Each structure stands twice: as structure tokens, then as C-alpha cells.
Amino acid sequence: MVEMNKCMPPICQDPASIFLWTDRPQQFRLHGVILPSSGPLNDPSTSTVGIRVENDNGTVYSEELEPGAVAAVDGSTFRLMNMEARQSGGVAFLFIRSSQHRLTKVAIVCYGDFSAATSAHMRTTLTIGDQTFVSEGDWRATVNGWFGGHFDRLHP
């Protein structure tokens, strides 16, 4: 058994959830902190941004945003809001804010078919241009889906 991320780079403070609701669109949520291994973060407004969730059986969810899909709010903050994603699928919300210390906060909400999330071991990958950030480990089944994050502290 692989132990879950203990808040070590490249993704830490990384709780993620998959909601497999039957009465509304299925949803994936992630928020955390990423740390580029070297140099500054690629500019999300001019780079391809990808989100992928995989388990032992293959891809659960994958979305790739073309350069320009994520808007620059200022030099360190980037955002995408797609109000139609709840009904049509895709990334509904993406927020990225870099700090002076190279730590970058991220928040992501996606809608789609997450029914392939049937095994506990999952890997979440965020790519920004050629930079890759990964969180991998054993998720916990919940009443409405799955919860994954660093397990060195208690979770709800």
C-alpha cells in the first residue's frame, strides 16, 4: 500500500473529492498548494493546462485547456470560470495564485462522468505547460463518492 502525500511537494495541502451524486452532475474538487521544482511557475494564461484523475483501471477524468482559456487577473493570479460546465461537463472553476516564495495556491472544480472512480488508489495530475504536479495515494470511500488527501492528519 502506498502512503498518501504527507504535504510534500509538488502538491501539498491537497484535499480532493469526487462526488458521485445520482440527482445532480458528478463533480471533482481539488485545492492545494503546488511548488515548481525549479524556477517560476509557467504562465497558465499562455500555457496548456491539464487535469487528469487516474486509478488502477485507467483514466477517470481528463481535461485539457488550451492556451488562453485561463485568464490572467494580474501578474500572479489566474482564473477560469465556466458556468456552463455544470450541465455540459468540463472545468467549471480554476484558480491559481502564485506567491513570492514560489508556493502557488490552486483550486479546481470539474464536472463530468466520474463513474470510473471504482478503486481507492488514485493519482491526480495537474500540468501547466511542461510542469507537472502530482498527488497519488489511497482515497477513502464516502457516502457520496471519494475523498483523497494527505493522511497525516484527521479528515472529515
Cβ(54)–Cβ(123) under 8 Å? yes
* Cα–Cα–Cα angle for 27, 30, 32, rounded to 5 degrees: 170
- For residue 27, what pLDDT is reported? 97
**Residue 2 resides in a domain:** no
- Closest of 9, 135, 121 to residue 60, by C-alpha: 121
Instruction: Count other C-beta atoms under 10 Å from residue 121's C-beta.
Output: 16
Q: How many domains does one find in the chain?
A: 1
**Residue 3 resides in a domain:** no
User: pLDDT by residue (tens digit) across 88-142?
Assistant: 999 999 999 988 777 899 999 999 999 999 999 999 999 999 999 888 889 999 9
Instruction: Count other C-beta atoms under 10 Å from residue 86's C-beta.
Output: 14
- The domain of 55 spans 11-148
**Residue 6 resides in a domain:** no
**Residue 18 resides in a domain:** yes
Give Cα 101 distance to the centre of its chain: 21
- Closest of 6, 43, 8 to residue 133, by C-alpha: 8
Supply the CATH number for residue 89's domain.
2.60.40
d(CA 106, CA 2): 24
**Residue 154 resides in a domain:** no
User: pLDDT by residue (tens digit) across 25-42?
Assistant: 999 999 988 888 777 889
pTM of the model: 0.87
pLDDT of 58 over the 90 cut? yes
**Residue 155 resides in a domain:** no
d(CA 98, CA 76): 5
**Residue 96 resides in a domain:** yes
**Residue 79 resides in a domain:** yes
